[in-house]
Chains A and B, each alone.
Chain A
Amino acid sequence: MSLLRPTLPALALVVLGASPALAAPQVDAQTCLSCHSVDGVAQIDHIPIIHGQSQTYLRNALHAYKSGQRSGGTADVMQAIAQQLSDAEIDQLAGFFGTEASVVSAAPVTHLVKASAEGADGRLVYLTTEEGGARVVQSRFNHDYFRVAPYLESEKFLTFCSIASMAAVLNSYEDAVQRPIDPKRYPYPYFTQENLFNAANQQVKSFEGVVTDGLTLDEIGQYLTHLDVQPTTVFADENDEAQMRSVILDGLSDPNSRVILNYNRGIVGQDGEGHVSPIAAYHEPSDSVLVLDVAGYKYPPAWIPMPLLYKAMLDKDSASNRSRGLALVRTF
């Protein structure tokens, strides 16, 4: 986002319990994040972790800072910030960062699922298994795997699956698209989950908005139009399974095309709901699609049978009131 500010903090596991349905706080949540969390762990000595802390505690603490009850030393820093907050904003921030479910109880569940070789219900084949690896080698539509997988990075926020997917896909074009120069990687051009938020995209949905709600398939399409590529969004409720398969194969066959999937991962048997990840390969004998999961901390990439994946794309996204589907990305 900025160079003078050395980094935008990444945030991973610790917000697992937070619901994307929470309203975005009016104050800039990034202000809090800049000190309180990098990858969920604050890296300045005296800064506590606030994600996953009790909402009541966070609310009381902010009020104590605001009233001056907590002051002196480093408490003066929080006092200066809390004094700018209304009571309603304190409630919003406490709700945003605080969760009732603790991180410790949430994490092992997902990792148990990940550890299962054949997935939650046996219908998925994870890339990390022998069968999963073999399918990549057998696949006639595997070029995107080798193009995109090297650039895959885990989503920085629970809601950043679309952002992480776009960054990986755009970087996979290497110099065929104009990539911004990220300050931390200067002078090498590279898409990050921060610099995707150019001015035009912030108009579509702000950084904070995406932190809170993620992006719908339509918004992914709008974002991509501002990123030097040509997107086509394909909604599952307007196409049958064969047509969707055909779109995927078109995308995988064309070296200038990539495919981004929007689906409900709960329907394929994984823990979670609406999700976005790049598609990397298609395996004809098993009629399955390799999804490069950008939530790598939850699941490795998985081969998902096409009929099951179609159902997962048909799911209605409550944010857009439309079905999910595919974003086909092409370079000009």
Chain B
Amino acid sequence: MHNRRQILALGAGGAALGAVAAVGWSGDALAGFGLGGPGDLANPAEIRSEAGVLRATLRPTLSQALVDDKPRKLRRYNRGLPGPTLRVHPGDVMEIRLENGLPQNPLALPELADSPFLSAADLCGPQGMGHVAPHDLNTTNLHFHGMHVSPKGASDNVFLTVEPGGAFNYRVQIPQNHPVGSFWYHPHWHGSVAAQIGSGMAGLILVEPEDYLPAGLPERQIVIQTVIGSDAAAFDDPRQFMSLGAPRIFTLNGQYRPTLRLRQGERQFWRMLLANDFQFCPLNFKAMGLGAILVGRDGIPLHEPKPVDSLLLSPGNRFDVVVEGLAPGLHDMERQPYRHGLVDLDARTIAQVHVEPGGASSGLMPAPAATPPDITDAEISRKRRVVLGERKDPRAIFDTAFTIDGQSYDPDTWHLTPKLDTAEEWTFVNTTAYPHPMHIHINPFQVVAINGKPVAERPWHDTFVVPAAGTLTIRSRFEDFDGDFVTHCHILPHEDAGMMMNVRILP
């Protein structure tokens, strides 16, 4: 199973690896390790904050990229798959210029809809499909997924529009008490979300204090993406990218079936992000020959790190995990089979983990970080029921629109209006036959019950799956920021087909 490069790298040994140019290495701490060297998966490019300010320019363009050796037309930030990782400290400001380098949206004249001379993308304008179908695939904006920041103005404001050729300067003040962990940025313009995130517009945001990672604990960023493999321009054709059945190519940091290397006993800090629009990704660490200690979920540290055998990554989830090489050998990293309602998602080898003999355990862990206090029964000021459904709508692709509380997304209605500095308990009731990973912006939530059965650990998340024909009960504390944002399904074809609702935190 080795390719030539891998064999060369293995023969060269650790010392030689250290001398290889540090292409794609993310930090000085890694210099003594083989991470990112030849035959090993490299971290994405990285931009760090300096003196309290992170300055970055994100420029999405539509261009060809090689994925599994075939060119595909993808929308990407700074021509990367994924976009650069942004590393910041609590209390920093992120000054991000978003320059929309995507081509103009085609004029959408309904009478052209039957023209044989125009492709599907040419016709994807606002043709009265309301908020239940993709449109204007090149219009964009930014969302800072999972971050506890203001939803207003130039901060995490997903109601902004940046048209092709336009630009916007985001300024996101990260609070001093911001949770320490992994977050991500991606576009959030309703109508182009599935097409843009699905084709690669995403990147990690790591929020941590200066001394978070001990020297000697290499950090490996793993951004899992799932571009459609059927046709080079699949993300210009809603009938392809809105299809649950479209064939998907799993990539890690843009690489198709890469190898991840570590020594037996060696610890690495894996920051895993499933940055996609559809496809769940359950992973089993034991089967990869690894021990795993879970440190944080969706950017929220655990009270106590805990050993895990497996994790379910839903679209949008992050997991910070300390892994340790246990079983020497070449192991498959397999997306475990997942029952997606009535459909089975197959097992799929997405990478290989090479545990080389002859290491020693460092026993290192990242520095402990604060977990928000549990939301108690006494804190709950209101309980709400949020019903997820679907309905027929000829304006939607495949005639299927999705609903929350009986309506597809309406930018002008506000049902969910909690007050600032209160906590509420919401039960998502899923009346469809498929799971929906629900995401709430700005404030994380605690999972308290699934299908009515209490969850003892009450894990913190910002995206968690509501089972098919089942219920999910969560609690959230609305702190620090009043204003408007949204909750939606992170299967983004569902979001573009209407499964989104406004939330307004009243001051």
Contacts and interface: CB of A to CB of B under 8 A. Distances in A.
B471 A4 contact: no
Interface in A180-233: 183-187, 199
Nearest to B427: A76
Interface stretch (B29-37, B306-314, B396-404): B396-404
Given A44-B341, A183-B243, A5 B400 contact: yes
A11 B242 CA distance: 26
A186 B243 CA distance: 9
A321 interface: no
Interface string A1-34: 1111111010000000000000000001001001
Contacts of A187: 230
Interface residues of A, number: 32
Nearest to A84: B406
Interface stretch (B136-144, B263-271, B430-438, B478-486): B430-438
Given A4-B398, A34-B433, A186-B246, 4 more contacts: A44-B342, A72-B452, A80-B431, A183-B398
Contacts of B298: none
Interface of B: 230, 239, 242-247, 340-343, 385, 387, 389-390, 392, 394, 397-400, 402, 427, 429-434, 449, 451-453, 468-471, 493-494, 497
Given A2-B399, A5-B400, A76-B427, A35 B469 contact: yes
A31 B406 CA distance: 13
B452 A73 contact: yes
Given A2-B399, A184-B245, A199 B394 contact: yes
A74 B245 contact: no
A43 interface: yes
B345 to A, nearest CB: 10
Interface string A42-76: 01101100000000000000000000000011111
B398 A74 contact: no
A192 to B, nearest CB: 13
Contacts of A44: 341-342, 433, 468-469
A120 to B, nearest CB: 37
A9 B342 contact: yes
A3 B243 contact: yes
B402 A4 contact: yes
B387 A35 contact: no
Contacts of B246: 186
B243 A73 contact: no
A38 interface: yes
A28 B399 CA distance: 14
A81 interface: yes
Contacts of A80: 385, 387, 389, 429, 431
A73 B451 contact: yes
B497 A4 contact: yes
B471 A74 contact: yes
Given A2-B399, A5-B390, A77 B245 contact: no
Contacts of A79: 429
A254 B387 CA distance: 55
Contacts of A76: 385, 427, 429, 452, 471
Contacts of B230: 186-187
Contacts of B493: 4
Q: Among the interface residues A7, A184, A199, which one has the most CB atoms of the partner chain B within 10 A?
A: A7
B430 A77 contact: yes
B470 A74 contact: yes
Given A5-B390, A77-B469, A199-B394, A46 B451 contact: yes
Given A46-B469, A183-B398, A3 B429 contact: no
Nearest to B496: A4
B342 A74 contact: no
B398 A6 contact: no
Given A3-B398, A6-B434, A187-B230, A35 B468 contact: yes
Contact of A74 (B400, B433, B452): B452
A43 B392 CA distance: 23
B469 A47 contact: yes
Q: Please give me the 10 A-B residue pairs with the lowest Cβ-Cβ distance, nearest first.
A: A73-B452, A6-B343, A2-B398, A2-B400, A3-B243, A34-B433, A35-B433, A35-B469, A183-B245, A80-B387
Contacts of B389: 80
Given A72-B452, A186-B246, A199-B394, A43 B342 contact: yes
28 contacts: A1-B399, A2-B400, A3-B239, A3-B244, A4-B390, A4-B494, A5-B390, A5-B433, A5-B434, A34-B432, A35-B468, A35-B469, A44-B341, A44-B342, A44-B433, A44-B469, A46-B451, A73-B451, A73-B452, A76-B452, A79-B429, A80-B389, A80-B429, A183-B398, A186-B230, A186-B245, A186-B247, A187-B230
Given A43-B342, A80-B431, A4 B470 contact: no
A187 B470 CA distance: 32
Nearest to B435: A44
A34 B341 CA distance: 10
A186 B247 CA distance: 9
A108 to B, nearest CB: 29
Q: Among the interface residues A44, A77, A183, A199, which one has the most CB atoms of the partner chain B within 10 A?
A: A77
Contact of A73 (B343, B385, B453, B468): B453
A6 B468 CA distance: 12
A6 B433 CA distance: 9
B470 A3 contact: no
A159 B228 CA distance: 37
A9 B342 CA distance: 9
B447 to A, nearest CB: 15
Given A6-B340, A46-B469, A74 B385 contact: no
A31 B387 CA distance: 14
Nearest to A30: B392
Contacts of B497: 4
B431 A81 contact: yes
A7 B244 CA distance: 10
